[in-house]
Amino acid sequence: MTIKFSKWNLVPAMVFLFSTVALAQTPTSTPGTTPSTPAADPSIAQRKENQQDRIAQGIKSGQLTAGETSNLETKEAAINGETRADRAANGGKLTQAEKQQVNQQQNQLSKQIYNDKHNASTAQYGNNQVGQRRENQQDRIAQGVKSGQLTAGETAKLENQQKGINQQVAADRSANGGKLTPGEKQQVNKEQNNASKNIYNKKHNGKTQPGAKK
C-alpha cells in the first residue's frame, strides 16, 4: 500500500519541529529568578576621580594643608604614571595582577586622605589680606581638582608652591612678633601673583584628569 503525503500534511509536522528547535536554543531560567551579571567594581578611572573629589573637598574646607595636599597628589601622580606605563606595555590594558596592585595603592592613599583630613593640622588663613589671598588660591586649586582641569601632578606642584609661601609667612611672623612688615607683605603678594599665574596656566593648558570633560 502506498501512502501519499500532501504539503498540507507536512505543515503541522514542520511547525512542531521548528518550535522544538527554538525552545532548545532559548536559555532556561529557574522559576522566580532572572538572569543577571555580577556588579562590577568601580573602574580605576572612577576610583581616581573619587580620590580627587575627596582631596578637593579637603582643600576647600581647609581640612588639608598645602603640604598635605602636595604629598597626597604626588602619590596620586605616581600611581597614575605607573598605570600609564602598565597600559602602554600591555596594549592599552591592565592585567588582573596590575589592577589588584593599583587597587591596593589606592586603598592606602584613601586611608591617608582620611587621616590627613581628620588630624589636627588645618589650613589657617586668618582675617587679613595675606590670609584671604591664600584662601582664594586654595579655592581656585580645589575647583581645578574637582573639575578635572588640574592633574594630580599639577596640583602637587601648585600646592608645593603654596607650602613654600606659607612657610615663609610663618617664619616672618615668628621673627616679627606675629606680624608682617610692609616689605614682607609686598614680597608675599608678588609670590602669590606668580602662583596665581601658574594656577591659571595649568588649569587652561591641554592637560586634564582622565575622564574629565574638556
Q: What pTM was computed for the model?
A: 0.74
Confidence of residue 124 (pLDDT cuts 50, 70, 90): confident
Buried-state track 22-43, b at ≥16 Cβ within 10 A, e below 16: eeeeeeeeeeeeeeeeeeeeee
Q: What is the DSSP letter of 4?
A: P
pLDDT digits (tens, 9 = 90+) for 143-169: 999 999 999 999 999 999 999 999 999
Residue 210, judged by CB atoms within 10 A of its CB (0-12, 13-18, 19+), counts as middle
Give the DSSP H/E element, type plus range, for residue 133.
helix 129-147
Please state the rounded mean pLDDT for residues 37-66.
83
pLDDT for the residue 123 = 87
Q: Could you tell me what percent of the chain has a pLDDT over 90?
A: 70
Contact 134, 162 (CB under 8 A): yes
